Structure 1
Amino acid sequence: MDDAIKQHVNQSTVESLLYTLYWLAFFLLVLPMASRLIIFLSGGGALLLNDLTHIEQLDTNPGLIFTSTFLTAVLTLPFLKSTLDAKNKSEVIGRLAIKKVALLPLIITVLLTAAYLLLEQWFFSLMEVALPDFMLEVEAQTNSFLAKIMLFLAVVFIGPIFEEVVFRGIAFYRLKKNALGASGAIIIPSIVFTLIHGQYDQIEIFISLFIFSCLMGLIRHLSGNLWYFIIAHMICNLLAIGESIR
C-alpha cells in the first residue's frame, strides 16, 4: 500500500515538473518568437532596425528589445489563469503572491541585494571577468535618448516583472505544492533561469546568475510577496546597464 502511494506521489511530481517546464518553454521561447513575428509582420522591424548593419545586432537593438519584451509580457496575461489553475483574478493575484509592500522586508531585501552585488563584483574582479560582448554591442547601439529610455524600461522594469512572474510566480507556485517543495521550487526555476541567459559566454557569470536566481527564490519563499524579489531584480539590472543609459 505504501509503495503504491509513493509511486503515485512520484508520478504526480514528475507530471507536475514536466507540465511546469512545458509552460516555462512556452513563456520563454514561444511567446518571444511570436512577439518578434508580430513586430516584423506589422512593419515595426523596418522602423526599429533602420540602422541595422549586421544580423548580430538584432538581439542588442534597444528598440527591438523594448518592443519584444513589452509584447511578450502582454501576451503572457491571457495564460495566467490556466497556468496557475486559478478560477478568477483574485486567485491569480494570490497565487502570484501580489501583496502590499512593507518597509522592513523591503529594507532587508535591498540590503541582501546590495550584499550579493558586492560579492559578485569581488568575484568577477578576482576571476578577471570581462564585460560580455553583447553588452558592449547594446551600449554601442544605445546612442540616443529614446534608445536609452527604451532600454531602461525593457531591462529595468518590464523584463524583471515578466521574468519574476514566470519563474518565482508561476513556476514557484506549481512546484512548491508538490513533493518537490520549496527547495525544488527554488532550484529548478533557477537552473532554467540560468540556461536561458545564453548571451553570456563566461562560466563565472552563469554561476553568479544561478546564485542570484536562488536568492530570488529564497526571498519569494521567506517573504511570500512578489514585489520584493522584483525590486531586487530591478536593482541588479539597473546596475548592469548603468553604463549604457548614462
Structure 2
Amino acid sequence: MDHVVRVGATHVEELAEILGVSAMTVYRDVAELERTQLVTRRRGEVTAAESSLTEASYRLRMNTNSEVKNTLADAARAYLKRGSSLMVDDSSSTIPLLSDLSEVTPITVITNAEFVAKYVRDQDDVRLLLIGGEYESWADSYFGDLAEVAISQLRVDLCVMSSSALTATHFYHPNENVARVKRAMLNVSRKKVLLVDSSKFDRSALYKVGPNTMFDVVITDTNTPAHIIDQLEEQGIAVEIVPAD
C-alpha cells in the first residue's frame, strides 16, 4: 500500500516483483484493499484512492478533476497582485494558477512543494522561495518542524490552497504533517483563499487543520449543495461559485 500511495498508480506485475510474491497473491491482497476503498483496480493497474487516512500522491492528484481545477484557478487569479507575495502548499489545484504569472509580475512565490516550484522557477520576474524540511516523496514536498519554523518567520500577502475534506465548520487532511504546514501557512497570511470542488464537502479526515473561518474566500463549483454555501456564508466567508463543467 505504501508503494501505491507514493507513486499514485502501478501494475500488479510491478508489485509482485517488488514484494517478491506471485501475481496471484498481489491480486488477492489488492482485492482486500479494494473492499476497504483504499485502492481501485482496472485492467491490472492499481491506483491509490483518497480516504480519511491517506491521500493520493501528487502525480495522481494532478490528473484528477483537472477541468474543475482550471476553472477554480481562473477565478483565483483576481486575487493576484503585482509586487505581492503568494504562498501555496502541495495542493495540486494551485498549478493552473501558477502556470503563467506574466500578468502579475513581479511576484514572489513561496512553497514547500518541489513540483510546484518547477512551474514557476523559469518564469521571468518571479522570485521563488522554496521552504525546506523533511522531504516526503509521495507529496514531492517538505514538511516537519524545519518547514514550520521557516514559515513562521514570514508574513505573506496571499495564501491559496485546497483541502481534501470539509465539514460545515472545519477542514481536515489525512496526513498530520500536511495539516500542520497548512495551518502554519494560513497563520502567516493576510488573505486566505480556498479552492475546493464540490466532491470535498461533507467529508472528514483524520487530522483537523482548523475552522473554515481561517479562509476569507472559498471558491467552489455549481455542484456544491446550496445548504453548504449558506453555512459558509453564515460564518462570514465570501463564497464564489464557478461552473462545474
Q: TM-score range by the shorter chain?
A: under 0.3
- More RCO (CA 8 Å, sep 6+): 1
Higher helix fraction: Structure 1 or Structure 2? 1
Structure 2 length-normalised TM: 0.25
Higher strand fraction: Structure 1 or Structure 2? 2
